[in-house]
Amino acid sequence: QLGLNDGLCVFFVFFKQRTAYAIYQCDWSSDVCSSDLPEAWSGVSIVDIIIIAVGTLTLVMGILGLLQPERLRNWADFWKTTTRLYLALGLRALLGIVFVLGQYDARFPAVIGTLGWVMIVAALVGVAFGTVRLQAFASWFAKLPLGVLRLWAALAAAMGVVVVVSA
């Protein structure tokens, strides 16, 4: 059973595509025009938001792993089922595509693009390895000493910071 403290967050984002003319005009049914939005949010796309959210989630998971490394064992055990493994691989590939597409608007495009391609390749390699090997890896990871799990968590937190800063 997972709770919010386990860092499992699902984001559903819905958006409506509008024409340039519709964006230019104010919505007469409301008091807010698109020109009234703060300049800090101008030019921020949904891809940028997803990349920053992934970096922030990675940072939070790293901090949680540093504070409670035994939760990383539970996290590894959670992903051992075949369905969850393929879900994780699909999500990794999808996020890799988002990173590759979002690299052009990033502060450090080479970092975001490289991470995107690494995610895509890792997902493909994971599919090639098959569920038996991935389950064995998850079992191995869950048995690591707490100090090593803290090291993995510190690396995850650092990677989260790199993603947020690079986005």
| Mean pLDDT value across residues 97-122 | 95
Question: What single-letter amino acid sits at 81?
Answer: T
Phi then psi for residue 38, to 5 deg, are -60, 145
Q: What is the CA radius of gyration of the chain?
A: 19
On the question of pLDDT at 12 being above 50, the answer is no
| Mean pLDDT value across residues 7-33 | 47
Q: Is the pTM of this model over 0.75?
A: no
Contact present, 118 and 96 (Cβ < 8 Å)? yes
Answer positive or negative: Cα dihedral of 60, 65, 71, 75. Answer: positive
Q: Given pLDDT bands bounded at 50, 70 and 90, which one contains residue 3?
A: very low
On the question of pLDDT at 30 being above 60, the answer is no
| Mean pLDDT value across residues 48-73 | 93
pLDDT at 36: 52
CA dihedral 107, 56, 162, 167 (to 10 degrees): -10
pLDDT at 72: 87
Q: Given pLDDT bands bounded at 50, 70 and 90, which one contains residue 146?
A: very high
Contact present, 61 and 156 (Cβ < 8 Å)? yes
pLDDT at 75: 85
